[in-house]
Amino acid sequence: MSSLPQALSRRIEAVTGIDPELRPATKPQFGHFQSNVALRLAKTEGRPPREVAQRVVEQADLGDLCEPPEVAGPGFINLRLRTDVLARAATEVLTDPASGVPGGGGETVVIDYSAPNVAKQMHVGHLRSTIIGDCLTRVLRALGHTVVPQNHIGDWGRQFGMLVEQILAEGLDVAGLDLAGAEELYRRANAHFAADEAFADASRQRVVLLQSGDEQTLAIWRQLIDISLAGFRAAYERLGVLLTDADLAGESTYNDDLPAVVAELEESGAAVVDDGALVVFVEGFNAPMIVRKRDGGFGYSATDLAALRHRVRDLHADRILYVVGAEQTFHFNQVFAVARKAGFLPAEVRAEHVGYGMVLGSDGKRLRTRDGGTMKLADLLDAAEERAARPIALAAVKYADLSNSLVKDYVFDLDRMVQTTGDTGPYLQYAHARLCQLLRRAEAEGHPVSPSVTRLDEPAEQTLALLLTRFGEVVVEVGTSLQPHRLCSYLYELSGALSVFYEQCPVLKSEEDVRASRLALCTAVRDVLARGLDLLGIEAPERM
Ligand code: ARG
C-alpha cells in the first residue's frame, strides 16, 4: 500500500518531472498538503509561477484523489484530499491487523545492545542502550525483519584477575553476594591493587591463570558471572524489555576465535607487528588498532573484531547495529574500517553505530545520585516510582530516553517526565486510556461501532484520519533512520489532534451514523496509539 502523499506526488511529478515535495499544510484553510513545485519550475522555465501552477493543476490527473486543487499566493499549490478517499484510507488502517505498518522486510539485523559489565551494576548508560535497543528490536521486527539481539556483556578482561585474587584473599563466598555486593568487592579490589604491590603482582598472575583455563580461577569467575546475570535479569524484568538469556553473547564467547582472527589478519596482510604488538593501520585514523598487546593479551577491540566476524559469518547479518554511547564512536568507526580491510565485513553488510548522548542532572552535569555517586539503574527507577505507579514511571523514563534525537544529551527531569500533560510518555498513555474509556462507555450504552470510517465532515476528523494514514511510513522511517524520536513526535501529534477532535466533535452525543463513524475513527486511533507505544516498549494501560 503506498501512502496518499506518495500517490499524489507521483501524479504531479508525471507533469512536472521533478519531485513536488509535498508538505503538510500549515493551516486547515490551505487543505491537506502544499507544494512549491511551481515556484521552482518557474525559475527554470522563466514563466510566472502562478501561470506554471495553473498549468500543473490543470494537467495533473488528481480528480479521483483530491478536490480541485487551488493556486494560492505567489504560486503555491494547495491540495485537499476527497473525504471519501481519506475515509477509505482510515478504514484500511482500522481493518489492517498491523495498522498500516508494512511487514515484508527480509533482512537479518543483529542488534548489539544493553551490554552491562560483570560485577558492576547497570548504570544510566546501559539503561539508555537497553531501552533504545529494545525499541529498535520491536520496530524492525514489526517491519518483518529477523532481529538477533546480542547482549555483549563485559565478562572478560584483566579486572577479573584482581577480583578473583581479592575473593581468595578475603576467603569470601561469592555465591552469597548480590550485584551490589560484587560492586563493593570491585571497589575493595581496586584499592588493594593500588596500595599493595604484591597483590597487584598476584592479580596479574591470576589473569594468566584465568586465560590458561585454571579450574579454580574459572570456577570463581563463573560464580561472578552467575550473580551478575541474576542482577541483570532482574533489571530487564523490571524494565519490561524483550532481552533474554538466549541473547547473551559476552566478550568471553569470542576467546576461542581470537587466534583465528589473528591468523586471518596476518595472512591478509591487514595486521603488522609494531613494537611487539599486533596492530592494524587504517586510513583516516590517527592511531592504529591494537589487536594483540605486547604481553600477548587481547583487548576490547580484538573481541569486537571477532564478534563482528561471527555476526557476518555465522549469524548471516545483513545489517549490524551497535547501540552504544557516543563516546565510543571512534572505537566503532575503527572496528568497522579494520573489519572491512580484513575482509570480515563485506561491502553489502551494513554496520552502524547507534550512538547516544549522556543523561544529565538538573545541574547540566552527568546524572549522579544525591551523595554524588554514579546513578545506578535501580536508583533511577526507584526515584521514578516514588512519583508514579510502575507502568507510568517506566513510560516516563523510556519516553524521555527515546523522544530526543539520540545523540543529544538530555536533562533528566523526573517531575516533568511523569506529568500527564506535555510531550511525555504518561500523556500518550493517558490519551490511550481515555479512548478506551470512551469506547467502553459506547459499548455500555449499546452504541454500535461502524466497521468502516464513513464520514469525515469536520476538519478535526480529517486531521486525525490523515495522521492515521501516516503511521506506517513513520515506522518505516524509524527502521531506516534508527531515530525513535520520530515515532514519539508522531504519537504526540496524534494525541494532540485527538484533543482537538474531542473539543470539536462530540462522539456519544452525535447522530447515529456520525457516532458510529466517529467510534470507528476512535478505534483506529486507539489501535495506532497502542501499537505505537508497544513499539517504543511502553505499556498502554486501558485505565489510568
Ligand atoms: N560493555 C561495554 C560498556 O559498558 C559496552 C559494549 C558494547 N558493545 C560492543 N560490542 N562493544 O561500555
Phi and psi angles of residue 248, each rounded to the nearest 5 degrees, phi first: -70, 130
Structural domain includes residue 455: yes
Structural domain includes residue 393: no
C-alpha cell at position 324: 552504544
Q: Which domain holds residue 294?
A: 108-151+246-359
Question: Of 320, 344, 359, which marks where a domain is finished?
Answer: 359
Regarding whether 263 and 170 lie in a shared domain, the answer is no
Half-sphere exposure of 496 (CA within 13 A, CB side): 10
Regarding whether 260 and 129 lie in a shared domain, the answer is yes
ipTM for the whole predicted complex goes beyond 0.90: yes
485, 493 Cβ separation under 8 angstroms: no
The number of helix segments (H) and strand segments (E) in the chain equals 19, 13
Q: Across the chain, what does the average pLDDT equal?
A: 95
pLDDT at 181: 93
Q: State the average pLDDT over residues 406-422.
A: 93
Regarding whether 435 and 523 lie in a shared domain, the answer is yes
Q: What is the pLDDT of residues 286-337, one digit of tens each?
A: 999 999 999 888 989 999 999 999 999 999 999 999 999 999 999 999 999 9
Ligand 1 nearest atom to the CA of residue 331, by list position: 11
How many domains in the chain? Answer: 4
Structural domain includes residue 527: yes
Q: Percent of the chain at pLDDT above 90?
A: 91
pLDDT at 362: 87
Q: State the average pLDDT over residues 429-437.
A: 98
Q: Hey, which of 113, 151, 152, 321 would you mutate to test ligand 1's pocket, going by the most ligand atoms within 8 Å of its Cβ?
A: 152
User: Above 60 in pLDDT, residue 502?
Assistant: yes
- Whether 324 is in the pocket of ligand 1, judged by its Cβ within 6 Å, is yes
Regarding whether 529 and 464 lie in a shared domain, the answer is yes
Closest CA to ligand 1's atom 4: 116
Which value, to the nearest 10 degrees, does the dihedral of the CA atoms of residues 135, 137, 140, 143 take? -90
* Closest to 394 (Cα-Cα) out of 374, 380, 412: 380
152, 251 Cβ separation under 8 angstroms: yes
Ligand 1 nearest atom to the CA of residue 154, by list position: 1
Question: Of 307, 338, 359, which marks where a domain is finished?
Answer: 359
Type of residue found at 29: Q
Closest CA to ligand 1's atom 8: 152
Regarding whether 170 and 63 lie in a shared domain, the answer is no
C-alpha cell at position 161: 584477575
- Whether 152 is in the pocket of ligand 1, judged by its Cβ within 6 Å, is yes
150, 112 Cβ separation under 8 angstroms: yes
Regarding whether 215 and 286 lie in a shared domain, the answer is no
CATH of the domain at 327: 3.40.50.620
Structural domain includes residue 407: no
The pLDDT confidence band at residue 48, using thresholds 50, 70 and 90, is very high
List Cβ neighbours of 538 (8 Å cut-off, separation of 6 or more).
394, 395, 398, 399, 425, 428, 429
pLDDT at 369: 77
Q: What is the pLDDT of residues 465-493, one digit of tens each?
A: 999 999 999 999 999 999 999 999 999 99
3-state secondary structure string, 392-404? HHHHHHHHHHHCC
pLDDT at 2: 62
Regarding whether 327 and 253 lie in a shared domain, the answer is yes
- Whether 304 is in the pocket of ligand 1, judged by its Cβ within 6 Å, is yes
- Whether 539 is in the pocket of ligand 1, judged by its Cβ within 6 Å, is no
C-alpha cell at position 448: 454500535
Structural domain includes residue 256: yes
pLDDT at 370: 77
- Whether 301 is in the pocket of ligand 1, judged by its Cβ within 6 Å, is no
> For the ranges 107-111, 180-184, 371-375, which has the lowest average pLDDT?
371-375
Closest CA to ligand 1's atom 9: 152
End-to-end CA gap in the chain: 35
pLDDT at 374: 80
Q: What is the pLDDT of residues 115-139, one digit of tens each?
A: 999 998 888 999 999 999 999 999 9
User: Above 60 in pLDDT, residue 1?
Assistant: no
Q: What Cα–Cα distance (Å) separates residue 243 from each residue in 111, 303, 501, 539? A: 11, 22, 38, 16
Regarding whether 129 and 34 lie in a shared domain, the answer is no
Specify which residues 321 forms β-bridges with.
Answer: 111, 352
The pLDDT confidence band at residue 375, using thresholds 50, 70 and 90, is confident
Regarding whether 259 and 122 lie in a shared domain, the answer is yes
Q: What is the pLDDT of residues 215-230, one digit of tens each?
A: 999 999 999 999 999 9
Regarding whether 456 and 355 lie in a shared domain, the answer is no
Specify which residues 376 forms β-bridges with.
Answer: 123
Regarding whether 490 and 532 lie in a shared domain, the answer is yes
- Whether 154 is in the pocket of ligand 1, judged by its Cβ within 6 Å, is yes
Q: Hey, which of 113, 123, 324 would you mutate to test ligand 1's pocket, going by the most ligand atoms within 8 Å of its Cβ?
A: 324
Beta strand 146-150 with 350-356 is unpaired
Helix (H) / strand (E) element for 471: namely: helix 459-481
